[in-house]
Amino acid sequence: MRLTIANRDTESHEFVLQFDKLNFRWQFVAETGNEDDEEDQFFELLNFLLDETPTWNGTATQLCAARGVLDPTFSTSPVALAKKLKSHQEFMREQHCIECNFTRNKSARIIELTRDVIVVDYEIPNQQLLELVG
């Protein structure tokens, strides 16, 4: 049996469960999907976004929209995206040279992504996506 967990605040997760008839309990077997590929793709798209300009400023909603242009299969809520960025700040700094800061003004929470070096170890999407981002 598969159990899928998805809501507006978290990314979807799918688990494989097996019913233990002896103890009348569901037992965890495995989590489906490859999170490493998703993580790699997440940071590749952030790097691509920062190739056009060394600094990106905007709300989580605007970042979701920009990611959606770069990857039409992207479907994470702005809240989940902000949580992911917050939880990966140190990793992004150490592994991808991306600084992520959060500030708040009167009307919105602003995310600032900054990268000093250019990373080119990923595939570049087609020219139309370059024009949409720029």
pLDDT per residue as tens digits for the range 109-130: 999 999 876 545 445 454 544 5
pLDDT at 127 (0 to 100): 53
pLDDT at 38 (0 to 100): 66
pTM for the predicted model, two decimal places: 0.59
Specify the DSSP element, H or E, that contains 20. Answer: strand 13-20
In angstroms, the CA 13 to CA 4 distance is: 6
Nearest to 114 by CA among 54, 62, 67, 59: 54
Work out the angle between the directed axes of helices 60-70 and 78-87 (0-180°, nearest 10). 90
Residue segments in the chain with a per-residue pLDDT below the cut of 70: 10, 33-38, 117-134
Contacting residues for 17 by C-beta, under 8 A, at least 6 apart: 1, 2, 3, 26, 27, 28, 29
pLDDT at 36 (0 to 100): 55
In angstroms, the CA 15 to CA 31 distance is: 4
pLDDT at 100 (0 to 100): 93
DSSP secondary structure code for residue 118 in this structure: -
pLDDT at 121 (0 to 100): 47
